[in-house]
Structure 1
Amino acid sequence: MTVGRVLVDAQSARFAGIDPLLPPVTAPADGDVVTAALPDGTRVAGVLHHQVHERRSPARLWSATEVWELAPLLGGTGGAGMDALLRAWRKRLDLARPAERDSACVLTWPSRDAEATRALLDHGLVPLTVIAVRRGPSPPVAGVATIRRATPGDLEAVLALALAELHYSSMVGSTVRRPDAVELKRRGLADRLAAGGPMWLAERDGVAVGLVECAVVTAEPGNWTGSRLPPGRWGYVNCVSVLPGARGSGVGRQLMAFAHRELARLGTVGTYLYYNPPNPLSSVFWPRQGYRPLWTMWEVRPAGALR
C-alpha cells in the first residue's frame, strides 16, 4: 500500500467521524505534489492544480482568471497537518510567482472540521463559498406569486433576473463582474432554456420577479459530484434570484418550496447548492430553507496573499 493510499484511507475515516454525509475520499487527479512533515515525522501531502481560464470562459464569472487549487491529503492529522501543508504551499508559490491580480488560491474542505478551520484562517484564507445540502420533503408555501416553467421566449426576463443575482453576489462573494458578463450569461441561459432544463419563474401581475434555475445530476464513484455528495440522484440549485423590489415578500421561499417538490418528483434524494457566507441574504435564507454546509471553499485573492 502506498503512502498516498494510507493518507486517503485515514482521511476517509476522519471525515466519516466529522460528518456522516461526506462521501469516502478519493485520490485527487494527477498534479503537482506538495509534501510536508510534522515535528514527529508524520508526513502529509497535497496535489496542486494550476489553471488559467480563457478570457471568454463562463468560469471567470465566479472565479479568478488564474487559480491555484490544492487538494490536501492529511490523513488523520487534522489542524496540525493542514498548517504544515499550507506552509509548504506558501513556499511553492514563492517559486511559481502567481499573477499579482486576478489570481487566487483555493482549497475545499469539510465545513465541520473546526481544527482545520483554525489553520486555514491563520494562513489568510477566507470561507467565501459553501456547498450546502438539503434532504427531506418541502410542504407547499402559499404566496402572492404565480410560478410557471420558463421557456425560450422568457430569455430576456430570465437574463435580467440572473444578472441581478450576479450583481449582488459580486459584492459579497466570489463572483466577478466581467465586461462580457451579459453575453456569457445570455448564451448559457439560452442553451439551458432550449434544452428544457428545470427552470421556473415567479410572476406578480404578469411580471417576472423571481427565478430558480436547477439541474439534476447523479453522484456516483468516479465523477465529480460523487466526490462531494453521497451516492444518488441530486437536484442542483444553480441560481435563485428575486428582484430587489420583491425581496422580503416570500417570493423566494415560495419558489424554493415549488422547486423542491418538482425536483423530488424527478426522483432526487436531495438538493445541493453553493452560497456565500458573507452574503447577508443567502446566509440567512438558505438555512431557513433547510440547507446546511457540507463543504467550504476557502480562497485568498490574489494568490500571493496566502500566508
Structure 2
Amino acid sequence: MPQVQTAESVLAAHRDRLRPVDRMIPEADALPEPGEGDELLEVDGAQGLLTHTRVDADALEAVLGPLDRWELTPRVSGPDEMAALLTRWQQCMRSHPERPGADSMAAVEWPSRDVAMTRVLRAFGFVPEFVMIGRVKGTGLVPESSRVHVRRATPEDSEAVFELQMVETRFDAAVSGAVERATTEALLREEITASFKRDEPLIWVAEYEGGIVGMHRGEDPSEPQQAWLATKIVATPVAHLVCQAVKEGYRGLGIGTSLANHVHAELDAMGIGASVGYHAMFNPISTPFWHRHGWRPYWNRWMRTPAV
C-alpha cells in the first residue's frame, strides 16, 4: 500500500495545481483540526475534512436543501487523487453509524475553472447545483432603461422587499435543490426586518410606473460573519450580494439591468473591491444575466442527493 503523503506536501501540491487555474482565488489554508462530528479523510496525495451536520428544519438555513448534510473540504494534488478521496468519502458514509438516509446531501466546493475535475465529480454522481460568481470593481456597465428609478430601500419598503425575496426563493426552489419549508416565510421576514435596523443596509428597490417591482439585497462586508469571503476571492473588501429579484410580468423590461448598474456603481464608489453571490447553476435567467453584467464563475458547489 502506498504511503500517505504528509499534510504539508499535499497542501503544497494542491496550491501548485490551482495557482495557474485561477489567480483570483486565494491560496488554500491548511485544513483545520477536526472538531466534534468532523473526520479527517486521507489517501495518497489527498486529504479532506468531512463535516457532518443536521440542520434544524425550522432554521432559515433549511431552505438550502436536505437537512442531513455531509460536506467535504478537499486538498488534492490532481484528478486521480480526488477520485481516490471521493471513494474514501463514500466508504466512510456507507459505514458511518449515522449513515445518510433519503433526506441527505453530500457537497463539495471546487474552483469553477478547474475543468479537469468536472469528469471526476460527475463520475461520482455530483451535480454543480450552485455557482459562486463575482464581479471586480470597475467592470463596465451595460445600457439601461431610463424608465426605471432605483434607490436605497427604507424601512417602509420592508414588505415589498420581503415579497420580492419570496419570489426569488420560490424560483430557486423550482430550478435547484432549495426547499421552501413551513417556516421560510416567517424567518425571511424576520431577517429582512433585522436588516433594516442596521445603518444604511445594502438594499435597493426599483420603481417602475409608480410601483416597486424589483429589489437587490446584500450584506455589509464589515459584519464578522462575512469573514469567509476572504477564502473565495483575492480582492478586498468583498460584498456578499444575497438576492436580486424582479416581479413576474415585469421581466425583460430592463428593470434588472437598472438595478444591477445602480448597485455596481454605488459599490464601486464605496471602494468595494469585488462583489460575490451564489445562484442556481440551472437558473435560466441568472446565468446569462449576470455574465452579461461582467460577473464570472469562481466556485462550483457540487452536490449529490441523497448523500449515498
**Does the TM-score normalized on the shorter chain lie above 0.5?**
yes
* Ranges in structure 1 where 5+ consecutive residues have no aligned partner: 38-42
AA aligned opposite 2:120:
A
Instruction: Answer yes or no: is 1:89 the counterpart of 2:89.
Output: yes
Structure 1 CA distance for aligned equivalents of residues 207 and 193 of structure 2 = 20
AA aligned opposite 1:175:
A
CA deviation map 1:249-284 (0-9, x unaligned): 110011000000111111111211111111111111
What's the C-alpha RMSD, in Å, of the aligned pairs? 1.9
**1:107: which partner in 2?**
108
The range that moved more, 98-107 or 85-94, is: 98-107
Structure 1 CA distance for aligned equivalents of residues 217 and 275 of structure 2 = 12
Residue 218 of structure 2: which of 209, 214, 218 is its match? 214
Contact 1:210 1:251 in 2 (8 A): yes
Instruction: Answer yes or no: is 1:285 the counterpart of 2:289.
Output: yes
The sequence identity of aligned pairs, in percent, is 28
Contact 2:68 2:103 in 1 (8 A): yes
Residue 174 of structure 1: which of 164, 174, 177 is its match? 177
The range that moved more, 81-90 or 23-32, is: 23-32
Q: CA deviation at 1:58?
A: 1.2
Residue 151 of structure 2: which of 138, 148, 160 is its match? 148
Q: CA deviation at 1:29?
A: 2.8
**2:229: which partner in 1?**
225
* Ranges in structure 2 where 5+ consecutive residues have no aligned partner: none
AA aligned opposite 1:240:
Q
**2:133: which partner in 1?**
132
Q: CA deviation at 1:13?
A: 1.6
Contact 1:218 1:232 in 2 (8 A): no
AA aligned opposite 1:131:
M
**1:30: which partner in 2?**
33
Question: Matched residue of 1:146: which SS?
Answer: strand
Structure 2 CA distance for aligned equivalents of residues 270 and 218 of structure 1 = 14
Structure 2 CA distance for aligned equivalents of residues 223 and 9 of structure 1 = 24
Contact 2:93 2:100 in 1 (8 A): no
Instruction: Answer yes or no: is 1:48 the counterpart of 2:55.
Output: no
Residue 301 of structure 1: which of 260, 281, 305 is its match? 305
Contact 1:129 1:296 in 2 (8 A): yes
Structure 2 CA distance for aligned equivalents of residues 105 and 262 of structure 1 = 38
Structure 2 CA distance for aligned equivalents of residues 93 and 13 of structure 1 = 30
Structure 2 CA distance for aligned equivalents of residues 231 and 281 of structure 1 = 26
Structure 2 CA distance for aligned equivalents of residues 64 and 279 of structure 1 = 19
AA aligned opposite 1:84:
A
Structure 1 CA distance for aligned equivalents of residues 88 and 239 of structure 2 = 38
Structure 2 CA distance for aligned equivalents of residues 209 and 229 of structure 1 = 32
Trace 1:240-255 onto structure 2 (pairs within 5 A): 240-255=244-259
Structure 2 CA distance for aligned equivalents of residues 86 and 137 of structure 1 = 38
Q: Which runs of 4+ in 1 moved over 4 A?
A: none
Instruction: Answer yes or no: is 1:79 the counterpart of 2:79.
Output: yes
Question: Matched residue of 2:302: which SS?
Answer: strand
Contact 1:61 1:177 in 2 (8 A): yes
Structure 1 residues 231, 204: closer, same or farther in 2, change over 3 A?
Answer: closer
